[in-house]
A and B are shown apart, each in its own frame.
Chain A
Amino acid sequence: MNDTLPRWVDIVLIPFINLFLALLVSGLVVLLIGKNPIEALTILVNGSVGSSYGWGYTLFYATNFIFTGLGVAVAFHARLFNIGGEGQAALGGLGVALAALSLNWPHWSLALPAAVIGGMLFGAAWAAIPAYLQAKRGSHIVITTIMFNFIASALMVYLLANVLKVPGSASPETARFVEGARLPNAYDVMSFLGFSRSTPLNISFFVAIAACVCVYFLIWRTKLGYEIRSFGKSEPGAIYAGISPVRITMIAMLISGGLCGLMAVNAVMGEAERLVLDPVQGAGFVGIAVALMGRSHPVGVFIAALLFGALYQGGAELTFEMNGMTREMILVIQALVILFTGALDNMVRGPLEAVFVARTRQPVPPVPTTPLTGGGHEEEKKVEP
C-alpha cells in the first residue's frame, strides 16, 4: 500500500497517533463542557477493560463489529463501498431467527450452523440486488445499498408487527428461541476467565475469529481473492486478465452481505435469543469505520473492532458514571475516533512520510513521472476519429 514508510509505521504507529489525536480532541470537548477529561478517560478505560464484566461487553460489541467490518473490508477489496451493512445484518437477523425457529433444535451445536447459513444467506440476498444493479445497470452501489437499509428497516418492522410476532402479544418480536437454539454464554465456556453470566458475550466470538481467518485466506491466498483484488485495483486490468467485472462485483457483494448478515448470529441468537426490532444498532455503519481503520485486513479489522467495542462499552459506562455525559457526547467521541482514524489519515501520514524520507534519502532510480499529466500514463490515447 505504501512504500515510503516502513511497515510497522503504517500498521502500528499511524493508527496509534490517530487514536491519540482523537482522544486529545475528545478531551478538549470534555473540558469544554466543564468536565475533567482525565477522569472521563479513566472511567472509559476502566468501564471497557477494567473488569471481566467490562471485557465481556467490549468483546460482545467487538464481535458485532468484526462481522460487519469484515463484510465492508471484502467489498473494499473489490473497490465497492458497501454501506448497506446495516440492512444486510437486519435481514441476516431474519435468516437467523427463521433458522432458529424452524425446528425444535435438540442442541445448540446443530442450531448454530443452521443459523450461520441462514444469516449469511439472507444477508447475501439483501446485498444481491444492489450488486446486480451495480454490475449490470451501473447504479451506484453507495446509493442503492443505503436505500436498501431503509427498505430493510421498514420490511423488518412490517414482518415483526404483522407476521412474526407472537399472537396475542403486543411487542413486535418473535417468540424466544427454544433451549437448543440458544448459544452458550461466555460464562458457560470460559468461566475460568472470570466472565460473569450478566454479559451477553457468547461463542459467536469464536465464529467471528474463524471468519477473520477465512477472510484472510479468501483475500490473500485464493484465486478468487486474487481476482477480487485485481478488479479492485484496476477494472481495465481485470478485463485484460479475463476477469469478469460482473462476476466479481456479484461475488464480492454476496460475500460482503453474507458476513454482515452473520453479525445477527451474535446479536439475535447469542444475545436477545429472539428477533427484536433493530438488533443491529448501528453496527453496520461502525463496520465501515472498522474496515477503514483496519486497512481492510482481517487482523486490522479485528484490532479495530476491539477498539470500537471498548469505546461502545466504555462510553456506556461513562454516561452512567459521569453527570452530564450524555449519549450524544459519547457519539461525539466515537465520531472523532472515526474522523481521525479513517478520514484524516493523510493528515498524519503526509508529515510522517516527509520525516522518513528526509531520514532515508538516497539516490533512487527515477520513477517515470510526467507530473504535468498527473504522473500517470505517458501518452494517453487521444482519440481522433
Chain B
Amino acid sequence: MSASDLAIELRGISKAFGPVQANKDISIQVKRGSIHGIIGENGAGKSTLMSILYGFYKADAGEVFIGGQKTEITDSQAAIDAGIGMVFQHFKLVENFSVLENIILGAEDGALLKPSLAKARTLLKKLADDYEMDVDPDAIIEDLGVGQQQRVEILKALYREADILILDEPTGVLTPAEADHLFRILQGLRDEGKTIILITHKLREIMEITDTVSVMRRGEMTATVRTADTSPEQLAELMVGRKVLLRVDKTPAAPGDVILEVENLRVVDGQGVERLRGIDLQIRAGEVLGIAGVAGNGQSELLEVLGGYARGTGTIRINGQEIDLTGTASDARTRRARGIAHVPEDRQREGLIMDFAAWENVAFGYQDDARFAPGLLMDHGAMRADCEGKMERFDVRPPDPMLAAKNFSGGNQQKIVLAREIERNPDLLLIGQPTRGVDIGAIEFIHQQVIALRDQGKAILLVSVELDEIMALSDRIAVMFDGRIMGERLPAETNANELGLLMAGMTGEDAA
C-alpha cells in the first residue's frame, strides 16, 4: 500500500495524564475512502487519541501523517486546515442560531454575513441532494431533533471541506431508525471518497458499517482487523482481554404478586414542560420490566419520581400501599423505608460522592441506619467492615475501602452502588443505565446480579438506552416516547425494528 492511499497514519503516539498513560505507542493506518471503526471500553483511550488528532491535546511522542504528509496539528484550526472534521458526542451548536448560521460560524468569508450565508445555502442544497441529508437551512437548532442536529454537525464539517470525518459515539442519542439513516449518509460519503473514523463501544455498529476496525485496550492498540474477517465475540475478547459471555443466561420469569402499581403519573419540570404525561404500569415480584426509549423521553423523570426526588401527581402503590406524593414527607429517604432501592442513572453525580472513600459511600442514602449511626456518632468501624464484605461479594477491584470512589473504574463504581442497593433486600429495585460507562467484563457481572435479584422474587424496573440490554434482561418491555408509554411488548415477540418505531413515537397502527 503506497503512502498516498492512506488518509491518516499515526506513528507511535503516546500521551499521559499525570500517572495515567492514556495512549501508549499507538500506530494506526486508515485507508482513504474507508470507514474505519475504533472500538474499546470506556477509558481505553479512544477519545484521547482523537483529541490528539484534532489538536486538542499535544501528544507526548509520535507523529501524524495526513495524506502521506507529516503534519503538526497544533490546534483544531490546523486540523481543519488538514481536512479533518469532527462530530462530537455532545454537539457544539449554538442552540438559538439557525442551521445556516451554525454552519458558517467560524468559517465566514468576510465581515458581512450575507455572501457566506448564500454560499452555504447553495452548498447545503447540493449536499442535501447528494447524501439524503435534508435539513431546513433556516430552522433554529433548538427546534430540531437530535438526529437532525447531528446532520448539521456533519454539514458543518463538510462545509469546511473535510476529507476525513471523525464521529465520536454518534448513535448514543439516536433511535435505531435514525442510526440507520446516519449509516446510509456515512456510506454515501465513503463512496464519494471521504474517509470516516467511527468511535464507538457498540459491537453491532462496528460489524454493520465499518470496513476495518481497530481495538483499543488500556491505552494500547491491541489489533487492527478487517471487519469481514472478525466476529463480535473476537472483538469483545480483544477489548476485554478475556473471553466474554455476550448473552445473559436466565430462566423464564415466575411473576408473583404485584409489587409496584403506577397510575396516571405526571411530572412537570421547572420550565413548566410536562415530562411524564400519564404513566400507567405495574411490576410483579420476580420480574424485570424494561423501559426502552431514546434518552430524554421521560425515563429519567420516571426514576426520579419513583425514587422520591422529583415531584409528581398521580398514584404510586407499593405492595398495595399508596405512597404520599405531596408535601415534604416525600423524599428519597421515605422511599427507601418503603422498600424501594435505587441505582441511579448517573452514579458519578448522584449514586456516589466521588471524593468520599468507598467505605463512606456504602452508607450513602442509608445514613439513618442504626448499624451505621447507632448514636450521635457514626460507627466508622461498622461502615468499613460492611464495605469490605460488599467488595468481596461483588468482586470490587481493588478491594480497598479507603480508596476514593473516583479512583475506581466505572464498572467497579457501579458494583459499589449495586452492592449497596441490592444488599438492602428491597422489594423494588429501580435501576437506570446499569452498564453505562462500564467495561464489558463488569457488564456480565452486573447483568447476572440483576437476574439473581429477580430470581429472589424482587420486582425490578430497568431503564436503559441500550436496546440490547433491554432485550437481554427484561421479562416485559415498555417503550417510552415523549413522556408516555407507547406500548408494551414481550421480548420474545418483538424485535429491534418494532421497538425502534415505538421509540420514535409511532404506534403499531402508524407502523403498519
A interface with B by C-beta (< 8 Å) = 1, 3-4, 217, 221-223, 226-227, 229-230, 233-234, 236-237, 239-244, 353, 357, 360-373, 376-385
B175 to chain A, nearest CB (A): 10
Q: How far is A365 from B398 in the complex, measured between Cα atoms in Å? A: 10
Query: Which one of B51, B350, B482 contacts A371 once the chains associate, using CB atoms below 8 Å?
Result: B51
In contact, A376 and B309 (Cβ under 8 angstroms): no
In contact, B47 and A383 (Cβ under 8 angstroms): no
Residues of B within 8 A of A217 (CB): 377
Residues of A within 8 A of B56 (CB): 371-372
Residues of B within 8 A of A230 (CB): 353, 356, 364
B interface with A by C-beta (< 8 Å) = 17-22, 42-45, 47-48, 50-51, 56-57, 88-90, 145-146, 168-169, 172-173, 218-219, 273, 275, 294-297, 300, 307-309, 331-336, 342, 344-346, 348-356, 360, 363-365, 367-368, 373, 376-378, 380, 404, 406-407, 409-410, 436-437, 482-483
Query: Which one of B17, B373, B437 contacts A223 once the chains associate, using CB atoms below 8 Å?
Result: B373
Q: A241-B365, A242-B308 are in contact. Are A378 and B42 (CB under 8 A)?
A: yes
Residues of A within 8 A of B89 (CB): 370, 372-373, 379
Q: A217-B377, A366-B44 are in contact. Are A361 and B19 (CB under 8 A)?
A: yes
Q: How far is A363 from B351 in the complex, measured between Cα atoms in Å? A: 28
Q: A223-B368, A227-B367 are in contact. Are A384 and B296 (CB under 8 A)?
A: yes
In contact, A237 and B21 (Cβ under 8 angstroms): no
Residues of A within 8 A of B18 (CB): 4, 353, 357
Q: A233-B353, A234-B350, A383-B296 are in contact. Are A226 and B20 (CB under 8 A)?
A: no
In contact, A240 and B90 (Cβ under 8 angstroms): no
Residues of A within 8 A of B48 (CB): 369, 371
Closest residue on chain B to residue A373 by CB atoms? B90
A144 to chain B, nearest CB (A): 22
In contact, B409 and A237 (Cβ under 8 angstroms): no
Query: Which one of B90, B335, B356 contacts A380 once the chains associate, using CB atoms below 8 Å?
Result: B90
Q: How far is A372 from B45 in the complex, measured between Cα atoms in Å? A: 11
Q: How far is A377 from B44 in the complex, measured between Cα atoms in Å? A: 15
In contact, B295 and A3 (Cβ under 8 angstroms): no
Could you jot down 24 A-B contacts, CB within 8 Å? A1-B355, A3-B404, A222-B377, A226-B367, A234-B353, A237-B364, A239-B331, A239-B350, A240-B332, A241-B364, A242-B335, A242-B336, A366-B21, A369-B17, A371-B17, A371-B48, A372-B89, A372-B168, A378-B437, A379-B436, A381-B300, A384-B145, A384-B146, A385-B273
Residues of B within 8 A of A368 (CB): 42-43, 409-410, 437
A377 to chain B, nearest CB (A): 6
Residues of B within 8 A of A379 (CB): 89, 169, 172, 295, 436-437
Chain B CB count within 10 A is highest, among A229, A362, A363, A384, for A384
Residues of A within 8 A of B353 (CB): 229-230, 233-234, 237
Residues of A within 8 A of B17 (CB): 369, 371
Q: How far is A165 from B304 in the complex, measured between Cα atoms in Å? A: 57
Query: Which one of B169, B295, B331, B380 contacts A381 once the chains associate, using CB atoms below 8 Å?
Result: B295
Q: How far is A3 from B296 in the complex, measured between Cα atoms in Å? A: 35
In contact, A367 and B294 (Cβ under 8 angstroms): no
Q: How far is A223 from B378 in the complex, measured between Cα atoms in Å? A: 6
Contacts between the two chains (Cβ within 8 Å), count: 171
B293 to chain A, nearest CB (A): 11
Residues of B within 8 A of A221 (CB): 377-378, 380
Query: Which one of A4, A240, A382 contacts B295 once the chains associate, using CB atoms below 8 Å?
Result: A382
Q: How far is A222 from B377 in the complex, measured between Cα atoms in Å? A: 4
Closest residue on chain A to residue B18 by CB atoms? A357
Q: How far is A370 from B49 in the complex, measured between Cα atoms in Å? A: 11
Residues of B within 8 A of A243 (CB): 333, 367
Q: Which 10 residue pairs across A and B have the least CB separation, nearest first?
A: A242-B333, A242-B332, A378-B437, A368-B43, A241-B365, A240-B350, A383-B296, A368-B410, A384-B296, A384-B146
Residues of A within 8 A of B307 (CB): 240
In contact, A364 and B169 (Cβ under 8 angstroms): no
B330 to chain A, nearest CB (A): 10
Q: A362-B19, A367-B409, A378-B410 are in contact. Are A239 and B332 (CB under 8 A)?
A: yes
A304 to chain B, nearest CB (A): 22
In contact, A240 and B309 (Cβ under 8 angstroms): yes
Q: How far is A383 from B275 in the complex, measured between Cα atoms in Å? A: 11
A73 to chain B, nearest CB (A): 16
In contact, A366 and B365 (Cβ under 8 angstroms): no
Q: A230-B364, A361-B19, A381-B345 are in contact. Are A367 and B332 (CB under 8 A)?
A: no
Closest residue on chain B to residue A233 by CB atoms? B353
Q: How far is A239 from B342 in the complex, measured between Cα atoms in Å? A: 12
In contact, A239 and B309 (Cβ under 8 angstroms): yes
In contact, A237 and B352 (Cβ under 8 angstroms): yes
Chain B CB count within 10 A is highest, among A226, A233, A240, for A240
Q: How far is A240 from B376 in the complex, measured between Cα atoms in Å? A: 23
Closest residue on chain A to residue B333 by CB atoms? A242
Q: How far is A217 from B410 in the complex, measured between Cα atoms in Å? A: 32
In contact, B47 and A371 (Cβ under 8 angstroms): yes
Query: Which one of B50, B146, B308 contacts A382 once the chains associate, using CB atoms below 8 Å?
Result: B146
In contact, B296 and A381 (Cβ under 8 angstroms): yes
Q: How far is A372 from B364 in the complex, measured between Cα atoms in Å? A: 30
Residues of B within 8 A of A226 (CB): 360, 363, 367, 378
Q: A3-B404, A234-B354, A368-B409 are in contact. Are A240 and B20 (CB under 8 A)?
A: no
In contact, A378 and B19 (Cβ under 8 angstroms): no
Query: Which one of A222, A229, A233 contacts B376 once the chains associate, using CB atoms below 8 Å?
Result: A222
B434 to chain A, nearest CB (A): 13
Q: A223-B373, A372-B47, A377-B349 are in contact. Are A364 and B309 (CB under 8 A)?
A: no
In contact, A369 and B377 (Cβ under 8 angstroms): no
In contact, B173 and A382 (Cβ under 8 angstroms): yes
Q: How far is A376 from B360 in the complex, measured between Cα atoms in Å? A: 21
Residues of B within 8 A of A236 (CB): 346, 349-350
B177 to chain A, nearest CB (A): 14
Residues of A within 8 A of B57 (CB): 371
In contact, A384 and B351 (Cβ under 8 angstroms): no
A222 to chain B, nearest CB (A): 6
Residues of A within 8 A of B332 (CB): 239-242
Residues of A within 8 A of B43 (CB): 366-369
In contact, A242 and B331 (Cβ under 8 angstroms): yes
B274 to chain A, nearest CB (A): 9
In contact, A233 and B355 (Cβ under 8 angstroms): yes
Query: Which one of A222, A363, A371 contacts B378 once the chains associate, using CB atoms below 8 Å?
Result: A222
Residues of A within 8 A of B19 (CB): 4, 357, 360-362, 364
In contact, B348 and A376 (Cβ under 8 angstroms): yes
Q: Using A230-B356, A242-B335, A360-B19 as known contacts, list a sample of 6 further A-B pairs with CB atoms less than 8 Å apart, ordered by residue number in A.
A: A223-B368, A233-B354, A234-B354, A370-B47, A378-B42, A379-B437
